[in-house]
A and B are shown apart, each in its own frame.
Chain A
Amino acid sequence: MRATAEHLWAIPALPLAAAAVISLLPRRCARAACWFATASVASGLVWSLAALAEAARSAGPLVANFAWFQIAGAPVRLGLLLDPLGAAMCVMVTAICTAVFVFSGGYMAEDRNRKAFFGYLSLFAAAMLGLVIANSLLLLFVCWEIVGSASYLLIGFWHERPAAAAAAKKAFLTTRIGDLGLFLGMLWLYRSDGTLLFYDHGAGVLDPAVLGRLAAPTGIALLLFCGAIGKSGQFPLQVWLPDAMEGPTPVSALIHAATMVAAGVFLLARVYPLMAADQALAQVPFHALSVVAGIGALTALIGAAAAVAQADLKRVLAYSTVSQLGYMMLAIGVGSWVAAIFHLLTHAFFKALLFLGAGSVIHATHHEQQLRRLGGLGRRLPATFATFAIGAMSLAGVPFLLSGYWSKEAILHAAAGWAPSRLPLLAALAGVALTAFYVTRMVALVFAGEARAPAAAHATESGPSLVGPLFFLSLGAVLLGFVGTPGRPWLQSFLTGAPLAREAPLGAPSLVLLSAGLLVAGAAAAWSLYGRRPARSADAPDPLAQRWPRLFPFLAAGLGFDRLYARTVVRAATFAAAAADDLDRTIWDGSVRAVAAAAVRTGAAGRSAEERALNGGFSAATAGMRRGARAIHDRQRGRAQFYLGALAAGFIALAAAIWWEGRP
């Protein structure tokens, strides 16, 4: 059977069914839950590969639209879309999901609640796959919110830890700010176009005819970008992503590195014609894509700078994700969404690999993730070290062999060719040096030197369910780069549908040499600080902190954004809440109390009159009533459910009586 757009629903339906089945299983069936979840995404991978082949065969996007419901004569329509972009994303998501699910089977083996974990993961996979095949902004938005909820559930999976519960709340609320923008943009788009379908045989919002008569493309594009800012951890909403590392490490690998956080980039790539619709207009003060490029460049720098000073292995990787997502946004902003998607795909593999490698380290050292307490693990965890090194070199962009190099170079070349400004290119180049620095620092602190704590000294390599996915992902982290080299840009022509345009096999020589030089400089600086004379004890201060005692803590705190927000946004919200509380207590409560006091006074007056005049007569009457009431009293035990049962019995009796009457 061919995987056309009509059959595409099966890809998200499989994990969704797995999630439903898992939610009904009893808690002790964790092993079955793991099997269901893994099998569903693995078969999704096969189906996605079939869809990829179908997308490569067909010219133009294949759509399957249907009416969801009809309101006041106008149908609200949703649809599924099969195009190279969606198919490539499907393959990536299902491949990473399969690796992470297998890894989770080993990593979470001792967690007593792991059945629910696989349920949440399957729900996430279903929503994420729905997001990438949606042919309607509305369907995309629905899935977008479900992945957000799944992310909330999974960050707070160990919710008995206060830090995890707080991080889950923070992630949910922060991304919600961006989602509000996306929602408003969606409403505006619907108001101006009357449809939210991407492609609809010439009548969808991305079809050129409709795009041409769009009233305010810049405003809509920027509102949609708000959603991407929240989801992809871009400046100024990047603060939730590092805290999201409180979740279990497989979750960090899947959701907060490879797939969900890349959804913002995917959204912009999907609606790229809309983002670029204002490029032809001259009278707008700025183009939407210029804003995207600026935010992306800023985020790439902020993330890389903060990653340099992190003390926690996973937080280094989290800030690195922020920075790499900034690179992708930058690529979209400078007009090369293909480079952004290329980097998204390679980043998904090497960053998931790095996170799972970190998970393997954490598992082997019994949940030790402070860099200063690790060390010397290269000899004790050889397989983890080898695969982690591949991921790290790919992230740093070591030339020629690794996928991260090719996609990063594609972005640098796109930025170099952008006419309006050189700043994004400079930011990206500075990011290259910083990336090489923090990657070398991280690898040196974890794997080189001597163990600086007992947990690291007694680590042993984990089992095949943890190491197997690492090898699978490192295969992707190496090979995936060769689908899009400048000499044979197959991916680029696949995504855009244009014929293969061969260029010089390595790109512009000056830029390649410059970025390689920056890479070597960054790595050498980090090696001279951390690798040559490794610290011997966990209490030794960080060499960089000694050199820059003021700057280092500032970078370690993520450039102070959390403190800034705590002082402004959080304080304002707290003030508003306190004011509302005060109003409630003084005005509304006060008026109720005044009425109550008046009633009490009236009652007291009435009572004194009553006691004098009426008491005697009523005493006799009430004694009789009391006897009657006692009989009823025994039925009134204050049990709410007894009352409800009596109600139900009465209702059934009534129904029976009516049936008896109406009988022929």
Chain B
Amino acid sequence: MSALQACLLFSSALFALGLAAALARRTAILVLLALELMLSAGTVNLVAFWRYGPRPADASGLLFVLFAIAISAAEAGVGLALVIAVRRHHASIRLDQPARLKG
């Protein structure tokens, strides 16, 4: 197994872990954490393809990762704000409680 394959296996495992957690957990914060896990699995892929790709010397992979980290930080900020809004509204952060948007 090459190093790239190992990285991809690792990232798929990370993604699967995140997906399972996002589906199984009922607390919004933990689901948010699981989403971050899935996002970092994608980031690991980016880095792996850069590192073992044709041009590992330039910094494109690292820059991708920096952007991905910045975006996921922003996403976490929005997510937490949503969690707080839901908490204010429903006095709970369990995801199965707020189902009032249904049409």
Q: Residues of A at under 8 Å CB distance from B?
A: 69-73, 633, 636-641, 644-645, 648
Q: Which of B23, B58, B59 contacts A644 (CB 8 A)?
A: B23
Chain B contact residues: helix, strand, loop or mixed? loop
Q: Does A638 contact B102, Cβ atoms closer than 8 Å?
A: yes
Judging by beta carbons under 8 Å apart, are B58 and A639 in contact?
Answer: no
CA distance A640 to B57 in the complex (A): 42
Tell me which residues across on chain B come within 8 A of A71, comparing CB atoms: 59, 62
Q: Are B22 and A638 in contact (CB under 8 A)?
A: no
Contact sample, A vs B, 13 pairs, CB 8 Å cutoff: A69-B62, A72-B59, A73-B57, A633-B102, A633-B103, A636-B102, A637-B99, A638-B99, A639-B96, A641-B26, A641-B95, A644-B22, A644-B23
* Residues 6-31 (chain B) with a chain A CB within 8 angstroms: 19, 22-23, 26, 31
Q: Which residues of A contact B31 (CB under 8 A)?
A: 640-641
| Contact partner, B98, options A70, A73, A638, A645, Cβ 8 Å | A638
B100 located at the interface, meaning its Cβ lies under 8 Å from any Cβ of chain A in the complex: yes
Q: Is B101 an interface residue (CB 8 A)?
A: yes
Bound CA span A73–B56, Å:
10
A72-B100 Cα distance, complex, nearest whole Å: 51
Report the nearest A residue to B35, measured CB to CB: A644
Which residue of chain B has the shortest Cβ distance to A647 in the bound complex? B19
Residues of B within 8 A of A70 (CB): 57
CA distance A73 to B26 in the complex (A): 46
Compute how far the CA of A73 lies from the CA of B59 in the bound complex, rounded to whole angstroms.
8
Known: A633-B103, A640-B95. 7 other contacts (CB 8 A): A70-B57, A71-B62, A638-B98, A638-B100, A638-B101, A644-B23, A648-B23
Q: A641-B22, A641-B95, A648-B19 are in contact. Are A636 and B59 (CB under 8 A)?
A: no
Q: In the assembled complex, how far is the CB of residue A481 from the closest CB belonging to chain B, in whole angstroms?
A: 50
B-side residues, CB < 8 A to A, are 19, 22-23, 26, 31, 57-59, 62, 95-96, 98-103
What residues of chain B lie closer than 8 Å to A639, measured between beta carbons?
Answer: 95-96, 99
How far apart sit A70 and B19, CA to CA, in the bound complex (Å)?
A: 32
Residues of A within 8 A of B102 (CB): 633, 636-638
The reply to whether B95 and A72 form a contact with Cβ atoms under 8 Å apart is no
Residues of B within 8 A of A640 (CB): 31, 95
Per the bound structure, the CA–CA distance linking A645 and B19 in Å amounts to: 9
Residues A72 and B58 in contact, CB atoms below 8 Å apart: yes
- Shortest beta-carbon distance, A70 to chain B, in Å? 8
A641-B23 in contact (CB<8A): yes
Q: Which residues of A contact B62 (CB under 8 A)?
A: 69, 71
Q: State how many angstroms separate the Cβ of B7 from the closest Cβ of chain A.
A: 16
Complexed CA–CA distance, A404 and B103 (Å): 75
B74 to chain A, nearest CB (A): 18
B22 CB contacts on chain A under 8 angstroms: 641, 644
Hey, which chain B residues are within 8 Å of A638, CB to CB?
Answer: 98-102
Q: Chain A residues near B103 (CB, 8 Å)?
A: 633, 636
CB distance from B84 to the nearest CB of A (A): 16
Taking CB atoms, residues of chain B closer than 8 Å to A73 are: 57
**B4 smallest CB distance to A (angstroms):** 18
- Least distance between A513 CB and chain B CB atoms (Å): 62
Docked CA distance A641–B94 (Å): 11
- Hey, which chain A residues are within 8 Å of B100, CB to CB? 638
CA distance A641 to B102 in the complex (A): 14
Bound CA span A641–B62, Å = 32
Complex Cα distance A644/B23, Å? 7
Q: Cβ of B26: which chain A residues have Cβ within 8 Å of it?
A: 641
Task: Give Cα distance in the complex from A69 to B19, angstroms.
Answer: 30
Of B58, B96, B98, which is in contact with the most chain A CB atoms at under 10 Å from its CB? Answer: B96
- Could you tell me if A645 and B23 are in contact, using CB atoms closer than 8 angstroms? yes
Write out the residue numbers on chain B whose beta carbons fall within 8 Å of the beta carbon of A641. 22-23, 26, 31, 95-96
Closest to A640 in B: B95
Q: Which residues of B contact A72 (CB under 8 A)?
A: 58-59
A418 to chain B, nearest CB (A): 47
Q: Give the docked Cα–Cα distance between A636 and B99 (Å).
A: 10
CB distance from B87 to the nearest CB of A (A): 15
Residue of A nearest to B16 (CB): A648
**Cα(A6)–Cα(B102), bound, Å:** 62
Residue of B nearest to A74 (CB): B59
Q: Which residue of A lies closest to B26 (CB)?
A: A641
| Residues on B with beta carbons closer than 8 Å to the beta carbon of A633 | 102-103
Q: How far is the CA of A648 from the CA of B103 in the complex (A)?
A: 23
Query: In the complex, A648→B26 CA distance in Å?
Result: 17
Could you say which residues of chain B place their CB within 8 Å of the CB of A69?
62
Q: What residues on A are CB-neighbors of B95 within 8 Å? A: 639-641
State the CA gap A636–B100 with chains docked (Å): 11
The CA of A636 and the CA of B19, in the complex, are separated in Å by 21
Kindly report which residue of chain B lies nearest to residue A648, judged by CB atoms: B19
Give bound CA distance, A28 to B13, whole Å: 29
> Within the assembled complex, what's the spacing in Å between the Cα atoms of A70 and B101?
49
Task: State the CA gap A70–B56 with chains docked (Å).
Answer: 10
Q: Which residues of B contact A636 (CB under 8 A)?
A: 102-103
Chain A residue with the shortest CB-CB distance to B99: A638
CA distance A648 to B16 in the complex (A): 10
Q: Which 3 A-B pairs have the closest CB atoms?
A: A638-B99, A638-B102, A71-B59
Alpha-carbon separation in the docked complex, A92 to B100 (Å): 60
Closest to B28 in A: A640
A369 to chain B, nearest CB (A): 36
Residues of A within 8 A of B23 (CB): 641, 644-645, 648
Which residue of chain A lies nearest to B62 when distances are taken between CB atoms in the complex? A71
Min Cβ gap A494→B in Å is 43
Contacts of B57 in A (CB 8 A): 70, 73
In angstroms, Cα B26 to Cα A640, docked, is: 10
Bound form: Cα–Cα A73–B57 in Å: 7
Q: Which residue of A lies closest to B98 (CB)?
A: A638
Q: Which residues of A contact B101 (CB under 8 A)?
A: 638
Measured between beta carbons, the chain A residues less than 8 angstroms from B98 are 638
User: How far is A644 from B22 in the complex, measured between Cα atoms in Å?
Assistant: 8
Inside 8 A of A637's CB, which chain B residues have their CB? 99, 102
